[in-house]
Chains A and B, each alone.
Chain A
Amino acid sequence: MSLIKETFSQISPSEFFYRNRDLAGFSNPTRSLYTSVREFVENALDACDQKKILPDIHLSIKAVDPEQPDPKSYILSVKDNGPGIESKHVPLAFGTVLYGSKFGLKQARGMFGLGATMAILYGQITTNKPVTVRSCADGKTQDEFVMLLDIQKNKPIIQKHTTKEASKTGLSVSIVLEGDYSKAGTKIRDYVSQTSLITPYASITFEDPSGEKFHFPRIVKEMPPPPTIIKPHPHGIDVETIRRMIVDTHYQIPIVDNNMITKVRSELGLQKKNLNSKGILERAQKKWSGLSRSVRTIIAIMSFLNLDFDGLGKIRIDDLDIANKKLSYWNFGESKSHVIELDPESPYYKQLANTVQGDTLHSFLTKRFQRVGPTTADKFCEFAKLKPEKRIGSMTNEELVRLADALQKFEEFLSPDPSCLAPLGEEPLSKGIMKFFNPEFAAVIQRSASAYSGFPFIIEMGIAYGGDIPSAGLKVYRFANRIPLLYDEGSDVVLKVINEMDWSRYKVKGDPPLVIASHICSTRIPYKTVGKENVADRPEIERELKNALQFLARKLTVHMSRQGMADMAKKRANLYSKYIPLIAQFVTELSGNKKEPNYKQLIKKGSEIEEQQI
């Protein structure tokens, strides 16, 4: 019998992304250049949105050596007027993977802020050049960091850090990466122009490698209301998410360090006074109701170990095993580990047990989810066959699965709260469309919020016809969370709905000068692929899209028939005065006359006939 030894090794998130860069849209120089532009521009817009700053974005792409053929090295820079990032966060934000501030549940363009780091990583592995980040968060000083990413260790290597005076907040990121602008250029220009359509409150400037500048000025001055961060809806939850929620719900045993001791002292009013263990407990009893949870936990531990503040400074709590009623700790003074029994009768036992086991299921449901009140929570517990007073920290795996399952199946939860969504709004969308296409007719609609699997979403759609739009058939602009979707349109749900529409019923035929802009806002867009370019066809989304489209198509029909009637009346009104002179012209030559006949009388008769008919 032989022993086969398997070795497992951990890889850092950076390394993971490095190995799987295709997934994130960095599969080739063309796509990578486009994706990098997208990530930086979206981060910039998100940053401005969050602080209600009207965005001013400058994007530039320059070839390192313009003489070289594509693919080659490009310098990509994106500068914004957003809030900037505090100096101390910059290295982590741009030099590590999975460091982000976007983990809350609300609508944002990017989910976790991973893309930007991916772009930096991609630039580094293709050109071995550092990223340059300039940030000013206080409007006074600007920090410039030049740094590389240590892929194995997932941490930044700062090559240079300088500061200088600045007058405005903002962030600018500049990377060198291998790209193919000759191929990606069209998409990048489309991306920038479509972004300006769906972000009419932003001013965007793009300077391409040839030095040509594309400027998209701000069309509206008001920003749509920003989304708020909200709790998740029970329908949008799986076992893994519950597990994660439980971990940060049940209060960890606080780390006993100097800060904590100072906190305990201050809450007990013993900043300067030392008491023995008994005295401290007496004092705590008096002030119990005003103590914070972490301080209560520390007091409970002090009671079991008979500690005063000095003693507290010498230990570290290692484990609290409620099932076996044992507490183990490390004593720095003795350099020795101790285990003591806990007395379940002690009033402090419950404090510790509750701390470790977390909330009851009932309060977990009402506190951590939206749309769950005490009554709904009771009904739910009955439905799930789980006790409401059960501590969630003590739930077995099996019970957790049952909980997750029941959360999905329980039908009495109200539909998700859409306040976490930030649709653009009918007026800005309409203004954007008017300015962008200068159509003869336009209509917009914002549907009321709806939800799919616990995620709220809102459909906004606009239609534009005629005017400056070329008669080249229907063109569809797709947006999701204010991001233009440019690739893989064939399989997108929006296209599906539009193509299934019987346009002939709406007086639209041939290759009409028609544009449709569709915007899906959701806390989670159901993308089909990691590349985030096409939206999957969820029935709820499909239905909303269809309703929006039909509403707009009907508006268009009304316009078309009005237009048609106006055209017809116009045609009729001019019929005799158009044709009689022509006939006169022809017969003059035909009859061999020199002078045209006097046909005024006939035209008068003609207009009389017209008046009768109209």
Chain B
Amino acid sequence: MKLKNSKSKATKTAEARKEKLLSILKNQGLTIYNDLEIGTFPQFSIPSRSVSNIVYDKKLRQYILGNSSAVRSARNMSQLRSYTQLAWLAFFVNRLVKEGKSSTLRDIYYSSQAFTIDFEDQPESDNIIVDLEALLSFPREDFHIFPEERSSVFGDLTIEYTVPGYEGKRVNLSDHPDGYLIGPSLSSAELVDTSAELVIAIEKGGLFTRFVEEKVHKKFKAIIVDTAGQAPRSTRGLLKRLNREMGLPVVILADGDVYGEHIAMVIKSGSANAAHLRELTVPDAKWLGVWATDIEKYKLPTIPMTESDIKRIYDLQKDPRYQEGNWKTQLEVFLKLKRKAELEAFSKYGLTNITDKYLPEKLELSKSL
């Protein structure tokens, strides 16, 4: 059993991060305050998130933003509104963080109305949130802003809450067979202790439940994470922490198609959408399957690819991360097969086939990857 570092140290790290964010926010506030006072139009300089400024960093093994940045000025009539929105968000996030309150993307959109900040729709407010992330180089989770959609986690992992009212309370994530939602409380909790030696991220809720029923967590000493499709950032954040803080290797099981492959890739090296953030990737994560080559090897039942599946393959072939190794090979085989298989395809050989046969074999194989 691995014992996590003492609690006080972890709390200190979290506290320090919070203090850093608050001080950056305050400095922004002071700058603007002074500008107003001396009659200068204040402005933000936000790293540009345009396609031309998103580059792949081979060293970091993820997408990052380049050097160009855009100025948003209160002087510019057409930017004044969005400038004010950004200033409001900084102000609102400052309150959230100071008071230890959580919010969601949707909640931000509605909260704005109380301050006569008129976002036209939620995408507009979501966009301002990303602007603030880029401006401050902090992910929105640090702002206590979470998406609505949530995925789950199950396994022998003891956590300790840091959210107000639950401070110091501990929970073991194998206590509830449906798993625990990866929400704000879990994201901000300390990871205290685990007996697991592995994290299995799985794309689908149905198989997640099956894995729990089949006691995969015991058989493989694993923590199981349901990514519910493309993993949300809170989930990727948790995977990252399990990997870094608890030293657990992460493996990924997704559908045998181009989307499944990309789910694995995003966990491993991030998405272009989050190129301004650095805390969400697990560069050593391993994609277990289902590979295109598995389809033939395990004689899986398949369905034909759609036009958009095939188009997606061509798109990904242009991505620098798919230029070599297994990632490249599998894309080519998918393109050759023009067929795909779901994780459920293993049911053809019995409901437990995937856990009894496929998973052990792939895990064994992954050691050599």
Interface residues, chain A, with chain B CB atoms under 8 Å away:
572, 575-576, 579-580, 582-584, 586-593, 597-599, 601-602, 605, 609-610, 613
Residues of A within 8 A of B87 (CB): 582-583, 586-587, 590
Contact B94 A609 (CB under 8 A): no
Instruction: Return the chain A residue nearest B77 by Cβ.
Output: A575
Q: A589-B94, A598-B37 are in contact. Are A583 and B74 (CB under 8 A)?
A: yes
Q: Which of B46-54, B78-86, B156-164 contacts A (4 or more CB under 8 A)?
A: B78-86
Residues of A within 8 A of B80 (CB): 575-576, 579
B166 at interface (Cβ–Cβ under 8 A)?
Answer: no
Bound complex: CA A613 to CA B80 (Å)? 15
Bound complex: CA A609 to CA B77 (Å)? 8
Contact A582 B115 (CB under 8 A): yes
We find that the number of chain B residues with CB closer than 8 angstroms to chain A is: 30
Bound complex: CA A583 to CA B25 (Å)? 14
Bound complex: CA A601 to CA B42 (Å)? 13
Contact B77 A590 (CB under 8 A): no
Contact B81 A582 (CB under 8 A): no
Q: B112-135: which residues lie under 8 A (CB-CB) from chain A?
A: 115-117
Contact B36 A590 (CB under 8 A): no
With both chains docked as a complex, state the minimum distance between the C-beta of B213 and any C-beta of chain A, in angstroms.
50
Contact B84 A583 (CB under 8 A): yes
Residues of B within 8 A of A602 (CB): 36, 39-41, 74
28 contacts between A and B (CB under 8 A): A572-B77, A575-B80, A579-B84, A582-B84, A582-B88, A582-B117, A583-B32, A583-B36, A583-B83, A586-B84, A586-B88, A587-B33, A587-B87, A588-B33, A589-B95, A590-B28, A590-B87, A590-B94, A591-B26, A591-B32, A598-B37, A599-B39, A602-B40, A602-B41, A605-B39, A605-B41, A609-B77, A610-B77
Supply 15 further A-B pairs (C-beta < 8 A) apart from A583-B32, A592-B30.
A582-B87, A582-B115, A583-B42, A583-B87, A584-B36, A586-B115, A587-B36, A588-B33, A590-B91, A591-B32, A597-B34, A598-B36, A599-B39, A602-B40, A602-B74
B90 at interface (Cβ–Cβ under 8 A)?
Answer: yes
Bound complex: CA A422 to CA B227 (Å)? 74
With both chains docked as a complex, state the minimum distance between the C-beta of A594 and any C-beta of chain B, in angstroms.
11
Q: A583-B74, A602-B39, A613-B77 are in contact. Are A589 and B91 (CB under 8 A)?
A: yes
B29 at interface (Cβ–Cβ under 8 A)?
Answer: yes
Q: Across the A-B interface, give the 5 residue pairs with the lowest CB-CB distance, nearest first.
A: A590-B29, A591-B29, A601-B39, A586-B91, A597-B36
Q: A576-B80, A582-B84 are in contact. Are A587 and B32 (CB under 8 A)?
A: yes
Residues of A within 8 A of B34 (CB): 597
Contact A599 B115 (CB under 8 A): no
Residues of B within 8 A of A610 (CB): 77
Residues of A within 8 A of B74 (CB): 579-580, 583, 602
Instruction: Return the chain B residue nearest A604 by Cβ.
Output: B39
Residues of A within 8 A of B101 (CB): none
Q: A582-B88, A586-B88 are in contact. Are A591 and B30 (CB under 8 A)?
A: yes
Contact B84 A590 (CB under 8 A): no
Residues of A within 8 A of B2 (CB): none
Residues of A within 8 A of B26 (CB): 590-592
Bound complex: CA A590 to CA B36 (Å)? 14
Is chain A's binding surface mostly helix, strand, loop or mixed? helix
Instruction: Return the chain A residue nearest B93 by Cβ.
Output: A590
Instruction: Return the chain B residue nearest A584 by Cβ.
Output: B36
Instruction: Return the chain A residue nearest B88 by Cβ.
Output: A586
Bound complex: CA A103 to CA B87 (Å)? 78
Interface residues, chain B, with chain A CB atoms under 8 Å away:
25-26, 28-30, 32-34, 36-37, 39-42, 74-75, 77, 80-81, 83-84, 87-88, 90-91, 94-95, 115-117
Bound complex: CA A278 to CA B209 (Å)? 127
Residues of B within 8 A of A583 (CB): 32, 36, 42, 74, 83-84, 87
Bound complex: CA A576 to CA B39 (Å)? 13
Indicate the member of A591, A592, A599 with the most B CB atoms within 10 Å: A591
Contact A590 B37 (CB under 8 A): no
Residues of A within 8 A of B94 (CB): 589-590
Indicate the member of B36, B40, B83, B94 with the most A CB atoms within 10 Å: B36
Q: A575-B80, A597-B37, A598-B37 are in contact. Are A609 and B75 (CB under 8 A)?
A: yes
Residues of B within 8 A of A599 (CB): 36-37, 39
With both chains docked as a complex, state the minimum distance between the C-beta of B353 and any C-beta of chain A, in angstroms.
54
Q: A582-B115, A590-B28 are in contact. Are A597 and B33 (CB under 8 A)?
A: yes
Contact A590 B75 (CB under 8 A): no
With both chains docked as a complex, state the minimum distance between the C-beta of B41 and any C-beta of chain A, in angstroms.
7
Contact B83 A592 (CB under 8 A): no
Contact A579 B37 (CB under 8 A): no
Bound complex: CA A572 to CA B87 (Å)? 20
The answer, among A579, A580, A587, A601, for a CB contact under 8 Å with B29, is A587
Instruction: Return the chain A residue nearest B36 by Cβ.
Output: A597
Instruction: Return the chain A residue nearest B76 by Cβ.
Output: A609
Bound complex: CA A601 to CA B37 (Å)? 8
Instruction: Return the chain B residue nearest A598 by Cβ.
Output: B37
Residues of A within 8 A of B91 (CB): 586-587, 589-590
Residues of B within 8 A of A597 (CB): 33-34, 36-37
Bound complex: CA A280 to CA B25 (Å)? 126
Bound complex: CA A590 to CA B90 (Å)? 8
With both chains docked as a complex, state the minimum distance between the C-beta of B31 and any C-beta of chain A, in angstroms.
8
Residues of B within 8 A of A593 (CB): 33
Contact B117 A590 (CB under 8 A): no
Bound complex: CA A599 to CA B80 (Å)? 15
With both chains docked as a complex, state the minimum distance between the C-beta of A175 and any C-beta of chain B, in angstroms.
58
Residues of B within 8 A of A584 (CB): 36
Bound complex: CA A339 to CA B90 (Å)? 118
With both chains docked as a complex, state the minimum distance between the C-beta of A194 and any C-beta of chain B, in angstroms.
38
Bound complex: CA A592 to CA B91 (Å)? 11
Bound complex: CA A188 to CA B88 (Å)? 55
With both chains docked as a complex, state the minimum distance between the C-beta of A579 and any C-beta of chain B, in angstroms.
4
Instruction: Return the chain B residue nearest A613 by Cβ.
Output: B77
Residues of B within 8 A of A609 (CB): 75, 77
Contact A580 B36 (CB under 8 A): yes
Contact B36 A582 (CB under 8 A): no
Bound complex: CA A199 to CA B29 (Å)? 66
Bound complex: CA A597 to CA B87 (Å)? 15
Residues of B within 8 A of A589 (CB): 29, 91, 94-95
Bound complex: CA A593 to CA B84 (Å)? 18
Bound complex: CA A175 to CA B94 (Å)? 77
Residues of A within 8 A of B117 (CB): 582
Bound complex: CA A583 to CA B36 (Å)? 9
Residues of B within 8 A of A591 (CB): 26, 29-30, 32-33
Bound complex: CA A601 to CA B36 (Å)? 8
Contact B29 A592 (CB under 8 A): yes
With both chains docked as a complex, state the minimum distance between the C-beta of A596 and any C-beta of chain B, in angstroms.
8
Bound complex: CA A226 to CA B23 (Å)? 84
Instruction: Return the chain A residue nearest B42 by Cβ.
Output: A583
Residues of B within 8 A of A579 (CB): 74, 80-81, 83-84
With both chains docked as a complex, state the minimum distance between the C-beta of B253 and any C-beta of chain A, in angstroms.
45
Bound complex: CA A533 to CA B72 (Å)? 61
Bound complex: CA A572 to CA B84 (Å)? 15
Residues of A within 8 A of B42 (CB): 583
Residues of B within 8 A of A590 (CB): 25-26, 28-29, 32-33, 87, 90-91, 94
With both chains docked as a complex, state the minimum distance between the C-beta of B139 and any C-beta of chain A, in angstroms.
20
Indicate the member of B75, B77, B94 with the most A CB atoms within 10 Å: B77
Residues of A within 8 A of B90 (CB): 586, 590
Bound complex: CA A584 to CA B39 (Å)? 12
Bound complex: CA A597 to CA B40 (Å)? 12
Residues of B within 8 A of A575 (CB): 77, 80-81
Instruction: Return the chain A residue nearest B89 by Cβ.
Output: A586
With both chains docked as a complex, state the minimum distance between the C-beta of A588 and any C-beta of chain B, in angstroms.
7
Indicate the member of A590, A602, A605, A613 with the most B CB atoms within 10 Å: A590
Residues of A within 8 A of B77 (CB): 572, 575, 609-610, 613
Bound complex: CA A613 to CA B87 (Å)? 25
Bound complex: CA A435 to CA B26 (Å)? 58
With both chains docked as a complex, state the minimum distance between the C-beta of B6 and any C-beta of chain A, in angstroms.
33
